[in-house]
Structure 1
Amino acid sequence: MISKTLEKEKILNYYLVPVEDVNRYDVWVSHVEALTPPFDVVYTNNPLTKRLFLEKGYSVKSMPMYDRTIYSGMEIRRRIWRNENWKKLVPKQVAGVLKEIDGIKRLKTLAKTDIYAPENRVASLLFEKNVTVSVAESCTGGLISHMLTNVPDSSRYFIEGRTVYSDNAKKMLGISEKTIEAFGNVSPQVSLELAKKIREKTKTDIGLGVTGFAGPSGDVGKVYIALVSDPEKICKSFKFTGSREEVKERAAKEALKILKKYLEKYG
């Protein structure tokens, strides 16, 4: 798809190299160097990638974003899954390749088991088990609530979502100042308290709580996701890589995976 688009634009002096993520910051630059011809400049909007290459002496430049709320992979996939107009968001060559390889059908098949799909397994389980859920999220900025409400009639299971981004917002929900001071606002203790308090206030079967560092400050990619219910109290830690948006997406995805696993276990 990239090749066809570049050729259409008469950009012929290029070399595409697929680079697999090794999930290790200390060897990332050398990994890229080993797979590519010599280079002088790195173009990226990822703060972590920028820092890694700058530390190795490379010139790093950022690229301007154009209406990122619409021109994003997540939005394009959402439109494809929901049969909305997605073609205007991609080059004609990309749409052509997807048609040639029957890509839309393949994407929709994958979406049936993918956590981002509106008709996902999480919503089906919540409907099936007649279970209610509420969410208190910090670093994901409301994305979990957004995903849970992508399904028609989601009000049957989704009661409330709060974005408790600041410490004050967390305290307003009921998180004690002592807990934040003792463990930090990004900690398993605070995540568990968020899940507990939002569940108590909304009287739902399940409460989800999420805190983390989406970047660029703090321990970027560190996220704690908690689930609290009568039979279960869970808190898992994650270390995600990628841009701020990617960290948020991956955290939200993992939160729904935790919810899905719980529903399959206790349904």
Structure 2
Amino acid sequence: MEKITKELAGKIALITGGTKGIGKAIADELASLGATVIVSARQEPAEELPYHFIAADLTNNDSISELAEQLLKQYGSLDILINNVGGTSAPTGGFSVLSDADWENDLELNLLAAIKLDRAIIPSMIAKNSGVVIHISSLNGKLPLYASNLSYGVAKAALNNYSKALASEVASQGVRVITVSPGMVKTMAMETFLHNYASSIGKSFEETAQLLMDSLGGVPMNRLAQPAEIAHLVGFLASPKASYITGANYVIDGGTIPTIF
């Protein structure tokens, strides 16, 4: 019988925010393709993971430095960096209800965390002329919703722009940089957001989910994505099959955006 070679065998991958939701699905996907997987999050999950876990708060500069130092000391360098950590705790209601702290928190978590970790890790990729960096953005970086998550969408739009510029800078040095922008995904974080939003506008969970899909212009598939569906795309982009892809932003949204822009 012919031996099946896993596409990411021998590769070292870090997934930030990799203990649940999309991050956990990506960790599972990359491991299934043969990669050695490391995940980071602020707190170790209650359930035991089959991956090396490193506690890290990516809104803290010292924590980012410690994460990078520990990784490079133990593994020498990374082959794949998935900047997945993100989210928002800002209130709904538009620009007038957002405080300076709301803006700063969303920019720190959804933009600056990726920039700072890239700055700590990418030089080791450049040194060996090889590496893949994938930024997990959001459909809201292209279609911002002022009433529900304005500061989050603005931060993700900035991440998209940064990712494109970085891709152009490091492409000739062997490092590919790609953005993946999911639409609505069925995760615990999304369910918590929808429950909170539903409470703030006095509607049911189901009504709020439909309202949010409608506010995006509708989702032709009429459902939320499963985390694994995002992870399958990330697995392909991290693999040698995508060796000529860099600087692109892949929107995976069930057909929400009607045209390419």
What TM-score does the superposition give when structure 1 sets the normalisation length? 0.33
What TM-score does the superposition give when structure 2 sets the normalisation length? 0.34
User: More relative contact order in 1 or in 2 (CA 8 Å, sep 6+)?
Assistant: 2
Task: Choose 1 or 2 for highest CA Rg.
Answer: 1
